Amino acid sequence: MKVMEAEFVKGFIRMAADGWEQGWHERNGGNLSYRIKDEEVESIKEHLKEGEWRDIGTVVPKLAKEYFLVTGSGKYFRNVPLNLENSVCIIELDEKGENYRIVWGMVNGGTPTSELPSHLMNHEVKKELTEGRYRVIYHAHTTNIIALTFVLPLKDEIFTRELWEMATECPVVFPDGVGVVPWMIPGGREIAEATSRLMKTYDLAIWAHHGTFAAGEDFDLTFGLMHTVEKSAEILVKMLSMRPDKRQTIEPEDFRKLADGFQVKLPEKFLYEK
């Protein structure tokens, strides 16, 4: 099967196009990775070549010998549907999870996203925690969430609670809450370690003054998660633009009733009295 005909590749392209349409991917902003299933690798194997091994920049032993479809560094989401082979690549990891090689794509040269350490460390955490179910890691420059990182305290509890209050469905969509990483230099191992630590608890990690990481089982769930949290942030920005306080809101007791009704567990640390 041609790479472009594989369902996982079509799903990846659609997600990149959807993210572009949301306005989250100015220039080369954001990046996307998918941990490819064995049978999916098998279905396109005839088209894979062996590139040179290169250092990942971190170590991910639990992802040894896995294959990933990832966006390229400096590449534009806008161009993913228009020129896939120049915008993304498939990489294979070595048997120690220390090096990768490009086996498809990036036809005009280049490397996978500069956030590869964050993507792979997040994949490693999620693979382990979900018995392999999670396959997508998505980083987007979500406008309203970024704006909020200038005005809210950079605390998991506060971001989670404020975002939950903005839309009734939020605690159902991300019952574990969201984590916040303080401003750090992007693209390296340090921010990757901080993010993957949060991914042990949450499916969402906000990078202050930068953007958001989301993790999920498939493209729909991961995009839907990013869309939901960013929409909630948009409502909060609008609310704060009208007045600094809320006249009425969803109260801790309401969240507890919601948790019962929807059979989700909402950690009490987010339901503090204000």
Of the candidate residues 83, 99, 114, 143, the single one contacting ligand 13P (CB under 6 A): 114
Distances from the Cα of 41 to the Cα of 93, 112, 186, angstroms: 13, 18, 30
Provide CB contacts within 8 A for 131, sequence distance 6+.
none
Q: Look up residue 246 and give its two tokens.
A: 């809320």
Q: Is 115 a residue of the active site?
A: yes
The active-site residue out of 92, 115, 124, 162 is: 115
Of the candidate residues 115, 156, 162, 165, the single one contacting ligand 13P (CB under 6 A): 115
Nearer to ligand 13P, 73 or 130 (CB): 73
Residue environment code for 70-95, b if the CB has 16+ CB neighbours within 10 A, otherwise e: bbbbebbbbbbeeebebbbbbbbbee
Residue 31: name its binding partner from ligand 13P, Zn ion, none (Cβ under 5 to 8 Å by kind): ligand 13P
Residues 42-61 that bind ligand 13P (CB under 6 A): none
Residue 73: name its binding partner from Zn ion, ligand 13P, none (Cβ under 5 to 8 Å by kind): ligand 13P
CB atoms within 10 A of CB 114: 16
Give the separation between CA 170 and CA 160, rounded to whole angstroms.
Answer: 9
Region near ligand 13P per CB under 6 A, out of 8-16, 27-35, 45-53, 215-223? 27-35
- Binding mask 209-238 vs Zn ion (x if CB under 5 A, - otherwise)? --x---------------------------
Name the pairing type of β-strands 204-207 and 179-181. Answer: parallel
Give the separation between CA 158 and CA 26, rounded to whole angstroms.
Answer: 28
Nearer to ligand 13P, 70 or 148 (CB): 70
Residues 198-257 that bind ligand 13P (CB under 6 A): none
Nearer to ligand 13P, 73 or 99 (CB): 73
Is 265 in a helix, a strand, or coil? Answer: coil
Binding region for Zn ion (CB under 5 A): 211
Catalytic residues: 115
